[in-house]
Amino acid sequence: MRKNVSFFLGTVAGACLTLLVTAPQGAHLVAAAKAAVRSDTYSQLNLFGDVFERIRIDYVEKPDDAKLVEGAINGMLASLDPHSRYMNAKGWSDMQETTHGEFGGLGIEVTMEDGFVKVVAPIDDTPAAKAGIMSGDVITQIDDEAIQGLTLDQAVNRMKGPPHSKIRLKIIRKASDKPIEIAIVREIIRIRPVRYHTDGGDIGYIRITSFNEQTTDGLRKAIAEITREIPPEKLAGYVIDLRNNPGGLLDQAVSVTSSLMPRGEVVSTRGRAAEETQRFTARGGDLTRGKPLVVLINGGSASASEIVAGALHDHKRATLIGTRSFGKGSVQTIIPLGTGNGALALTTARYFTPSGRSIQAKGVTPDIEVLQDVPDELKTRAETKGEASMRGHLAAEGAEQAGSQSYVPPAEKDDKALIAAFKQLRGVTVNADAPASQKRPVPN
């Protein structure tokens, strides 16, 4: 493969060289065009400088220069895609706390949409989850102050705070008659990314809620404890629950997958240039020793969750049950900008499953679709629109898919997807539900 790629690139380079030698006038035209592009870019930068200076001189009140620059940076990044953003020094520090797995706040994964903060998923056993905040809720006010106009990091910083302090959120839910106000008491959020238990003396259940620096260690501990409780000859397999898991660190997604299959590609990332392609492969061995796996996904399973589900599916290592995942198939690289200047989270690549499929704005489709019975009072907020509904998202390769159920019943006895997973591992035939489009409208 490398030889073929090298040959192709060499052929292109040769063709360019031929043009340069045989048509020097054409080369001058190319150089002139490049110079014109540079000139246009500098002209735009001069325009920015003129506007900046005019604001500094003529605005009705003396502006803060640093805030003007930060606002300009945020506006520039917001024009790219929903996931590229600037973090000032405090925002960068807060993000590092989050990836370490401990911080003070509410316990929700959020994104910015149309100037408001939208909940991707609440984290299990946090104040937000206990207060009833759900995937798809749109936060419009924090302590009676409108969010519109704030950056995502500014809004997140306002939601964080000392433990035991109170915060009031105003949220909008789809098809709700009026905004809902929720009062929450902040807590220290210690994200325990992995929870587990056994079922019926023959199945290990492992729930992964996020991918932070503690996730792989938590998974290893869970598998070790389950194998101590259930003898190998009685262990029918494992359920890996990734529902409403908003994602996290790429390296953790790779190492988690490495712990569940012996070898093979986990994910590849492809940037603007072909030489920027990276491939990540499984390492460390299958800790489950080849036992059958069922992975649960739904509309709230995003990013790193989709990497794990896609890899295990493509290698035929697991059966996927649930509903189509969120569809976030882009990679954000964190670029520190120097002491006191924060960092840039910049979308630098798309990621692809081992079979070469991009899930951007499409999601991962389960092998067996299982729809939950949603209580009447929750039916208007049981759907997550997904990546394809986000303004400015990267276009999909092929048809885009938006809308998937994200409701998970609080009681296991009512959880149809989990029951289906247990049946699958015990050798009971599981029938997929009719496609969602045949049963109810899906928002696009």
From 118, 328, 362, 385, active-site residue: 328
Q: What is the dihedral of CA 398, 371, 109, 306, to 10 degrees?
A: -40
Angle at 216 between CA 211 and CA 219, to 5 degrees: 105
Token pair belonging to 421: 């997973």
Contact residues for 127 (Cβ-Cβ < 8 A; gap 6+)? 106, 107, 184, 185, 186, 187
- State the helix-helix crossing angle for 65-78 and 24-58, rounded to 10 degrees: 140
Residue 261 structure tokens: 């299959």
Please give the full DSSP string across 250-317, using - where no structure is assigned.
HHHHHHHHHTTSSSSEEEEEE-SSGGG-EEEE--S--TTTT--EEEEE-TT--THHHHHHHHHHHTT-
Which 3 state secondary structure label does DSSP give 53?
helix
Burial class from Cβ neighbours inside 10 Å (0-12, 13-18, 19+) for residue 104 reads: middle
* CA-based torsion, 265, 270, 274, 278: positive or negative: negative
Spot the catalytic one: 84, 210, 301, 303.
Answer: 303
Annotated catalytic residue, options 137, 241, 314, 415: 314
φ, ψ of residue 422 to 5 degrees: the values are: -60, -45
E-assigned strand segments in 70-215: 85-87, 102-105, 108-113, 116-122, 138-142, 145-146, 166-172, 180-185, 187-190, 194-199, 203-208
Round to whole Å and give the CA distance between 164 and 141. 20
Rg of the Cα atoms in the chain: 24
Secondary structure percentages of the chain, helix, strand, coil, to 5: 35, 25, 40
303 is catalytic: yes
177 labelled catalytic: no
| Bridge partners (DSSP) listed for residue 109 | 121
Q: Catalytic: 84?
A: no
Going by C-beta distance under 8 Å and a sequence separation of 6 or more, which residues neighbour residue 420? 321, 368, 370, 430
Report phi then psi at 200, rounded to 5: 65, 15
* Alpha carbon distance 314, 330 (integer Å): 19
Question: Mind telling me the catalytic residues?
Answer: 303, 314, 328
